[in-house]
Structure 1
Amino acid sequence: MTAFAARSPALSAELMGAFYAEAGEVLSDLGRGVAALDTAPAGAFAPALAPLSLLAHRLRGSAGLYGFSQFSALCGLLERVLDARPELPPQERAEFVALLGTVCRMLEASLGTLRAGGDDRDLGQAFTRVGGTAQLRALLRAAPSAFTLRVPAHAAPDSDSGAEEPGTDDTAAELRRFVREQAEVWDYFAPEVREHLAALRAELARGEDGDLGVMFRAAHTIKGSAYMVGLNVLGDFAHGAEDLLGAVRADALSLNAGVRALLEQAADLADDLLLTAEGADPSGGAALLPRRLEHLSEGLRRMAGGEAPLPPLSAAPVALTPAAAPTAPAGTDAAQHTSIRVPAAQLEGLLDQVGSAVTSRARLSNVLGRLSDLERSMSDSQQRFQRAVRDFEERHLNPDLVQREDAAPGESHLTGQFAELEFDTYDDLNILSRSVTELSADFSEVRRNLSDTVAELQDENERLGKLLRGLRLAVNRTSRVPFTQATARLKRWAREQQDVEGALPFDLVVEGEDLQVESSVLQRLTGPLMHLLTNAVSHGLGSAEGRAQAGKPARGQVWLRAAESGQFLEVTVADDGQGLDLGRVRDRALTGGLRSAQELGRMGDDEVARLILLPGLSTAAEVGRVAGRGVGMDAVATAVRQLGGELLIQTERGVGTAFTLRLPTAQRIMDLLQVRVGGPESPEVAFALASVRALRDVPADEVLGEGDERQVPFEGELVPVVDLRPLWGQPAGEVRSCRLVFLTSVIGMVAAQVGEFGELVEAGVTAPGLALGSLDYLSGLALAPSGEVRPVLEPAGLRRLARRPQAWLRAETAAEKAPLRRLLLVDDSLSVRKLVGRMLERGGYEVRLAADGQEALDLLHLDPNFDAVVTDLEMPRMNGYELMEGLRSRFSTASLPLLVMTTRAGEKHQRLAFQLGATDYFTKPVNEPLLLRRLESLFAPQDQAAQVRAPRDEGLEDRA
């Protein structure tokens, strides 16, 4: 099944039927056209290829859109050889026609397989087996000047897929020698590999729902790390696993049970390699390890190439020795128990601080005991007061009882005696008054004691807070290790690159090696740094010829700098190479369906540079052994986000590129400034105190600009202002003064407009995780003293948000409240019309279809009330360019948005489209989220305007 069919089973039958019908019709036309070439005159041979090329182009786009990658690739090969329009002598012309016939027959057979419910994953191999590749190569050798094409990847021999064959007798010795000689490196390398193997296994356990990106990154990182530290045995083996996952990611294979089982075997064997290196006996014994390695490497290669899998490795049963039983726990312990050397002076300081903390706790216990005594005194006084009040109530609220007591025998006689002796007599009011006076004195004493005790408790709490802060800093220093523990490994890799044949010589300059970095951060930082160094050497420095033309020295320079700024660690990898080719980045983002031409046109250079962080985007001309797959920078960005940090890119063409990793030094506890987004009931957020420059209450008329481009003067410069209220769904009403938090970052200052300034707190901070990792302005999550979670905002992300807020903010419900939009979809392919039409309908649009430009023009003449047109370029009768020219020449459709959707990604095609009035430009296969996002942004201003006008109209009606 295709990728689309798997996503939408209910639509598969109808859509697949349309594709099969269209593909069958196109192949019939191709077959008749190829058969007619045998009798075509010499002068008419090349012109007869043009309509066949258009048919191949049309079929290639449809197959790619439906996820048939191998079918589409073979159509692309047919299109390229037809586009060459070769002028050939009779013998070579006959061979050329025979090649075309072979391609058409293979496509017809593959279409039959697809109709029967099969797939096209073996089409490339089948084309080679029937001699198609041999025909193509023979034709290229016979007439090399007639063609300017490259052999396709699926037909070329796979020179980089097989792993280097390890030695048959010294594999275990090589692994163990590496651990002995590189013990310091192994302490970081082995846990990292095991972590990626665990991630690979976790996704494999999810079956076909496993995250292919996580698995591919795991294999890619293991491979790159192994090569960089010099453990080529593991690197070559992981390379084979990466190739297999790459074939799955390219839809040449599916993640079926066979592929998953082979990858699980690969993960087990990688674990055994680590165990062997650490001196343990793996499952099956170290003697069988070379055979297992060779057999499984060949199995990975064959499966990645679409060949039949190897039979299981047959071997005599190996008896496990007693030492072999605990190998798995030993490996686990090796990964979990990493030791850190701590100076004795630091330990003594920690013990002193712990002693002070014990003393402080004893003082707190004493104060709490005094509070308990005061609580008992308060309870006794309360009971006395209650008795006095109860006696008074009984005498004056129960008169019958009082009369009976007055009439008691002997009472009047005693009272008379008191009078005769002139004793003072006390009535009930006197007694109550005296009791209240005594109780008031008691309460005053308790209040005074309570006030003194609370003050003492507050002082002790402050002393304990200072003590805990010092203890936290001391523990952080204890867990830190010198940055040299990472640079030693990177320097070794740099030295080894000098021996690589054909590699450009370079010097690695390291600065800040004495900096102390938290051990857990350094372990997780080494992998991203290796990716960046590989990127600098493979892409950044450029070629020797290019450096000579630019006047640069033949020997390149790569810098690795580490510095601490406030509560942040900044690590920079820079090179003196050619800088990023932003034009190529734009082209790759467009052709890969990651961004549209209009989006790319609005981006600044810094935003275009950050596109290289997208998965699958690479500017390399071809895939190499350690670069060019479009996964390295994605892995770096993911790792940095998981650490709660920020990856910054600075590049200048012809000068070089610098990547800066900005990470919080206190990964667990930070000093934060809490603020409220809007009014008293609005949410609270926080900023790292180290990034706060100043707090200001600025009159609204001092803020320059309007809307999304506001700035405020601060210390001689204009600082962009970001209003946090829309970000959290709060109404952005007018205010007389703006409360601004001025924040610093490595890319400049930004002012965050908030509702209320809050308190300074010390709180635990965690990274945002994968679910929130895409929010560029969120650096972490903090647990407030009240128990609520506070978002911690990143100043650099807020600054980018200030530059282009429409890329981050979405209208609340404008699209939902706006009327249903009507779209006209124009494409000569029936399957494309049905598939893209369903995409648009799922997005909430009403869609009309047209088979070519002429039909679309006729529809718009009868019914011009469409909100936008989505059109292909290459169509019969009237193509997309002619359609755009016709629409722009009419008054009723002159301002109608026109979106181009085509397989042509060339600059000349885009330039002509925009000259004729195109609103945006997409490449096929169409990325559904991108298409719907661009349409939403296209209509959002109109919907918002309508939403704003509606209340005014209602108010006018009410007043009338």
Structure 2
Amino acid sequence: MSNSELLASFLQEAEEVISGLESGVTELSTSASQSTAGQGEALDALSILAHRMRGSAALYGYPQLSTLSGLLERLCDSRPDLSGEQAAQFVALLGTVVNVMRGGVAGLRAGQSDRDLGLTFTQVGGTQQLQDLVQAVPEAFRMRAPRHQHRPEETEALETQEDSAPAQGLEGELRGFVLQNPDIWEYFAPEVQEHLESLRGQLSQPEQADTHSMFRAAHTIKGSSYMVGLAPLGDFAHRLEDLLGAVREDAVGLTPDVQHALASSLDLLDDMMAAAEGQNVALSERSEQLTGQLRALASGESQSPVAPAPSNTAALPAPDAAPLNTTIRVPAQRLEGLMEQVSELVSSRTRMGRLLAQMDDLQGSMLSSQQRFQRTVRDFEERYLNPDMVRGQEEAASGQGMGGAVAQQFAELEFDTYDDLNILSRSITELSADFSEVRRRLTDTVAELNEENETLGKLVRQLRVDVNQTSRVSFSQATARLRRWARENGEQFDLNIEGDDTLIESSVLQRIVDPLMHLLTNALHHGLAHSEARAAAGKNERGQVWVRAAEQNNFLEVTVADDGEGLNLERIKEKTLEKGLRSAHELNAMRESDLARLILLPGLSTEQAVGSVAGRGVGMDVVATTVRQLGGELLIQTEAGVGTAFTMRLPTTQRIMDVLEVQLAPQSWAAFPVGAIRALRDVSLSEIVETTAGPRVTFDGALVPVIDARQLWGADTTENGDLAHLALLSSMTGITAVRVMTFGRIEEVSVTPAGTLLSRLDYLSGLTIGASGRVLPILDAAGLTRLSRRPSAWLGQEDVAQRRSGGNKLLLVDDSLSVRRLVSRMLERDGYQVQTANDGQEALDILQLDNSYDAVITDLEMPRMNGYELLSAVRGRPESQQLPVLIMTTRAGEKHQRVAFQLGANDYFTKPVNEALLLRRLATLLGASTSLQEA
């Protein structure tokens, strides 16, 4: 919408408001000479109009008009009890304000600005009127909450509360925060309530509770509270997070006492929110008791449960703030419903197109049938209605004269003109003509339906664009919160924001605020070095952080970058190994880009100590999860000594998009977003070259990687032709060529985000149903690239158990009885035969007597013979030189790993060992070992 259209829209609304204000002031003036005590409803009506004008003027960039409207609103909200001359002066003051506002709107219509409205108000005597009235009766202008914000039955209680002193203590601090920061509370409160509802949902089914999800919710409440400056809420959420952290790590069980404490904590957090919004709730004593109980439970102690608080709440006026999405003229819930309807309309139109295609096929079949019908009728006519042609040929062959033949023919025709056969023939001819008419009418109908379908398609596309634009808001609505956080931490860095005017879907904007806060926290606590280190590196002592938002090729890109030290990849490897999230062999085989992405793993943090903001390994997991749920991708770029940049790349439309159907296997179809497709190519197999980094093909003068999606989906990749079908897809990591079986057609589809169960598949950006009724996974190019590096995750691969030759025998060596029992049980559950030894000497004796073991898993620190000595002895025996040996120890240092690998270890794990990781690596090693033996 152009600036002139925006101004016209505002002026139209302003005229309606001014007219309403003038009518209201006129109504007040008729009875102002008596008293204003009974005019509360009229003043409330004026307050509503003034509030509306204040918000609209501020939104459209007219601050003086907004300020003047705010003055009028406050005067009406005070509802002074005046009579006689003072009541007339009060109404006159309201009239002055409205008249100046009328003049200001007229000036805007004439192309002027509103910057002189304050001066105009003073010049016409408005300021003097206000001062005289306030000085004469100051007690009459005590601020009261507008009555229209409350139900009638609440009014009496409110008037009583207005005269009471402000709340003190915890309750007063919470209430004061809302009164001072209504704009922050507007988006902060719904976010906290959402996380509280999530926690309650998990707690309602404790046997199925996802403790990691619960921990992350508490962590987010805590972090958000600290970042907006609401310390009491953050402190209590911190205690809740500690207990959930202990539950997540199995240090504390989810016992009834713990469940009761968690439920009481959620109730207290609810009451804190209610107290902040003005309800009369006792909090201090309960908060202290619950804080002590949570601390005791987290440390393994038990305390008596805290009794729930009585529900004796009374409402106080809510803070006056504009809604978060102030540029949206309709409720967000209605927009969501509208988007759902558009999605259904798209699906319906797709089905209509399929039915039209079927009708077109039917038309072709009817044409073919008609042609066969006509041939049959023609043959019938020639044989029975025109026999002279056949008979003439026969007589010519037999030498008969023409005269007799003609007479005989006439007699026969005269005799047979009206027999049954003739009538049947004529009927069939008429039916054929009718059939032609039906076919013609069907053709016309199909043509009209196609035209209607095209019209419907245009309407759907326009509606889609309009609704999408309507639901967009500027990125600046999120940056206000980022700037506030930066001010609170401004002693250490400068925040630079670019792209404030970038338009983003409101639902997307609200969901990426948390990830942005986590990325900023990550930059501050992990990226930026101390001023001394920066000075030594030749950088400015103050760190620099950039937040950039831009729309690129139907994708929204939001980047958080810093000029710090860059990611410490060695530290990431060390922490990953310590946490048991990857083995040393896997880490050593990773590229730098893959190592950087390890920080997205849940529970991984490079912070040395756990603090109230960083060190718990939650933030980056939240970022990655949110980006996946939004169908996007996260790019991490880092360079030592230069800095780090995280870029979230999200589709601009989340619900409806154009996709290309592709076939990956005989019974498997998928789709690629059209916005990500650079080109479609049918290339000769000779053009795909094998390199040390894998297959490559030339595109735009450069070699790009080729990923065979058929192989990933478990399809037969035997070459049956000379051509390969390649879809060249663009992602943040570059161009990738994805090989498929065949290309389908482009469709406009309604997209459903991947649910909780599928959200961990980072190559899946969403799901849809095609026109054929097939469920189509929408694939992401960068995710497919990562999937291609993990053959064990490919579809159609042989099951781990099938790759084993009758159940592998393992030798487990550890001097701890509890470790041997635990790991043995873990391995046996997966089908392995396990023999144990309590030190290296016993293990070596067992191997000398039995050479049938398929792998050895050993500790390092053991009596008599340690793990290094055992490894050397195993590699020194010809019978066991190729025997896989895995180290499992508490020592995660790089020097310990180096010695182990030098002596011939196949892999290296840290305790406590991750079950899934150990089983995965065993399957890989034993599969490779079997292949070598067979070869």
Contact kept, 8 Å, 1:184 with 1:485, in 2: the verdict is no
Query: SS state of the match for residue 559, structure 1?
Result: strand
Question: Does the 8 A contact of 2:286 with 2:306 survive in 1?
Answer: no
Q: How far apart in 2 are the matches of 1:669 and 1:891?
A: 63
1:771-822 per-position Cα deviation (integer Å, ceiling 9, x unaligned):
1122221111112122221000001112223455456668324641541322
In structure 1, how many angstroms separate the alpha carbons of the residues matched to 2:290 and 2:850?
Answer: 64
1:242 Cα deviation after fit: 1.1
State the distance in 1 between where 2:268 and 2:625 align.
27
Q: Distance in 2 between matches of 1:765 and 1:875?
A: 57
Report what 2:715 is aligned to. 730
Does the Cα contact within 8 Å between 1:644 and 1:766 map onto a contact in 2? no
CA shift digits 1:469-510 (9 cap, x unpaired): 111011010011111110111111111113xxxxx5211111
Candidates 764, 767, 776, aligned match of 1:778: 764
Range that drifts further, 200-209 or 529-538: 200-209
Give TM-score scaled by structure 2 length.
Answer: 0.70
C-alpha distance in 1 between matches for 2:326 and 2:931: 59
The answer on whether the counterparts of 1:709 and 1:803 sit within 8 Å (CA) in structure 2 is: no
Equivalent residue for 1:107?
Answer: none
Given that 2:573 and 2:587 are in contact with CA atoms closer than 8 Å, whether structure 1 keeps it comes out as yes
Q: CA deviation at 1:465?
A: 0.3
Alignment of 1:536-685 (within 5 A): 536-678=523-665, 681-685=666-670
Q: Is the 8 A contact 1:824 1:847 kept in 2?
A: yes
For residues 291 and 496 of structure 1, the distance between their equivalents in structure 2, rounded to whole angstroms, comes to 30
Question: Residues 251, 336 of structure 1: CA spacing in aligned structure 2 closer, same or farther, 3 A cutoff?
Answer: farther
CA distance in 2, matches of 1:810, 1:593: 28
Offset at 1:861?
A: 2.4
Find the counterpart in structure 1 of residue 736 from structure 2.
750
CA distance 1:945–1:695, change in 2 (3 Å): farther
- Once residues 168 and 474 of structure 1 are traced to their aligned partners in structure 2, the CA distance between those partners, rounded to angstroms, is 48
Corresponding residue for residue 893 of structure 2:
906
| C-alpha separation in 1, matches of 2:878 and 2:262 | 61
Q: Shift of the alpha carbon at 1:574?
A: 0.9
Match of 1:739 in 2: 725
* Structure 1 residue matching 2:283: 3-state secondary structure: helix
Partner of 1:834: 821
Question: For 1:105-131, what per-residue CA distance to the aligned partner results, in whole angstroms no more than 9, with x for missing partners?
Answer: xxxxxxxxxxxxxxxxxxxxxxxxxxx
The corresponding residue for 1:886 is 873
Query: Is the 1:169–1:290 Cα contact (8 Å) retained in structure 2?
Result: no
Distance 1:185 1:312 in 2: 31
**Corresponding position of 1:447:** 439
Query: Aligned ranges for residues 217-236 of structure 1 at < 5 Å?
Result: 217-236=216-235
CA contact (8 A) 2:602 2:618 kept: yes
Q: How far apart are the structure 2 equivalents of 1:810 and 1:591?
A: 33
Match of 2:486 in 1: 494
Q: Is the 8 A contact 2:511 2:626 kept in 1?
A: yes
Whether the 8 Å CA contact 2:804–2:927 is kept in 1: the answer is: no
Q: How far apart, CA to CA, are the structure 2 residues paired with 1:805 and 1:842?
A: 24
Partner of 1:150: none
Identity over aligned residues, as a percent?
59
Query: CA offset at residue 933 of structure 1?
Result: 0.6
| Distance 1:463-1:658 versus aligned 2 partners, 3 A rule | same
Alpha-carbon distance between aligned partners in 2 of 1:924 and 1:845, rounded to the nearest angstrom: 20
> Structure 1: how far apart are the matches of 2:174 and 2:851?
73
Report the Cα offset of residue 829 of structure 1.
Answer: 2.6
Q: 1:625-645: per-residue Cα shift (whole Å, max 9, x none)?
A: 211111111122122222222
Following superposition, the deviation at residue 675 of structure 1 comes to: 0.4
Q: Which runs of 5+ in 2 are unaligned?
A: 1-165, 385-410
Q: Does residue 288 of structure 2 align to residue 301 of structure 1? A: no
Aligned to 2:142: none
Find out whether 1:869 has 2:856 as its counterpart.
yes
Q: Secondary structure at the match of 1:215?
A: helix
- The question of 1:189 aligning with 2:188 is answered yes
Higher mean C-alpha deviation, range 738-747 or range 792-801: 792-801
Deviation at 1:168, TM superposition (A): 7.3
Provide the secondary structure at the position in 1 that maps to 2:714. Answer: coil
- Please give the per-residue CA displacement for 1:918-950, whole angstroms capped at 9, x wherever unaligned: 111111222221111101111223456789x8x
SS in 1 for 2:500: coil
Relative to 1, partners in 2 of residues 1:474 and 1:889: Cα closer, same or farther, differing over 3 Å? same
- Residues 297 and 303 of structure 2 are in contact (CA less than 8 Å); yes or no, is this contact kept in structure 1? yes
How many angstroms apart in 2 are the aligned matches of 1:708 and 1:717? 15
Report the equivalent of 1:56.
none
Which of 679, 687, 690 lines up with 1:705 in the alignment?
Answer: 690
Aligned-partner Cα distance in 2 for 1:721–1:176? 59
1:520 and 1:491 map into 2 onto residues whose CA distance is 21
Please tell me the residue identity of whatever aligns with 1:569. Answer: L
Assess if the C-alpha contact under 8 Å between 1:685 and 1:790 holds in 2: yes
State the secondary structure of the residue aligned to 2:504: strand
The structural deviation recorded for 1:876 is: 1.9
One-letter amino acid of the counterpart of residue 239, structure 1: H
2:903 corresponds to 1:916: yes
Partner SS, residue 762 of structure 1: strand
CA–CA separation in structure 1 for the residues paired with 2:298 and 2:676: 49
For 2:623 and 2:462, the matched residues in 1 are separated by 33
Distance 2:462 2:672 in 1: 22
CA distance in 2, matches of 1:261, 1:787: 47
What is the root-mean-square deviation in Å for CA atoms of aligned residues? 3.6
Pair 1:717-2:709 in alignment = no
Q: Secondary structure at the match of 1:771?
A: coil
1:569/1:664 contact within 8 Å kept? yes
The equivalent of 1:257 in structure 2 is 256
Query: 1:201 & 1:752 partners in 2: Cα distance?
Result: 44
Structure 2 residue identity aligned to 1:509: N
Structure 1 337/543 Cα, relative in aligned 2: closer, same or farther at 3 Å?
closer
**Larger RCO, structures 1/2 (Cα 8 Å, 6+ apart):** 1
Q: Provide the rounded CA distance (Å) in 2 between the counterparts of 1:335 and 1:866.
A: 71
Deviation of residue 251 (structure 1)? 3.7
Structure 1 residues 643, 757: closer, same or farther in 2, change over 3 A?
same
Change (3 A) 1:942 1:911: closer
Superposed, 1:328-347 pairs within 5 Å as 341-342=328-329
Q: Report how far residue 173 of structure 1 moved.
A: 4.5
Name which of structure 1's ranges 177-186 and 268-277 shifts more when overlaid on structure 2. Answer: 177-186
Structure 1: distance between partners of 2:298 and 2:865: 44
Distance 1:575 1:637 in 2: 19
Q: Tell me, yes or no, if structure 1 residue 435 matches structure 2 residue 434.
A: no
AA aligned opposite 1:795: A
Amino acid at match of 1:458: N
1:191 and 1:336 in contact (8 A); partners too = no
1:851 positional shift = 2.6
Residue 923 of structure 2 is aligned to residue 936 of structure 1: yes
Amino acid at match of 2:295: R
**Cα deviation digits, residues 403-429 of structure 1 (max 9, x gap):** xxxxxxxxxxxxxxxx9xx99951112
Structure-1 residue corresponding to 2:237: 238
Partner of 1:759: 745
Equivalent-residue separation in structure 2 for 1:215 and 1:901 (angstroms): 31
Q: How many aligned residue pairs are there?
A: 706
Measured after TM superposition, the shift of residue 537 of structure 1 is 0.8
**Aligned counterpart, 2:90:** none
Distance 1:486 1:683 in 2: 41
SS at structure 1 position matched to 2:252: coil
Indicate conservation of the 8 Å contact 2:504/2:652, yes or no: yes
Describe the shift of the 1:800–1:788 C-alpha distance in structure 2 as closer, same or farther (beyond 3 A): same
Amino acid at match of 1:510: I
2: CA distance between counterparts of 1:433 and 1:945? 81
- Tell me how far apart the structure 1 counterparts of residues 434 and 804 of structure 2 sit (CA, whole Å): 72
Residue 180 of structure 1 and its aligned partner are, at CA, apart by: 4.3
Counterparts of 2:845 and 2:330, CA distance in 1: 84
One-letter identity of the residue aligned with 2:762: D
- Indicate how the Cα distance of structure 1 residues 630 and 944 shifts in structure 2: closer, same or farther if over 3 A, else same: same
Does structure 2 retain, via aligned residues, the 8 Å contact 1:682–1:730?
Answer: no
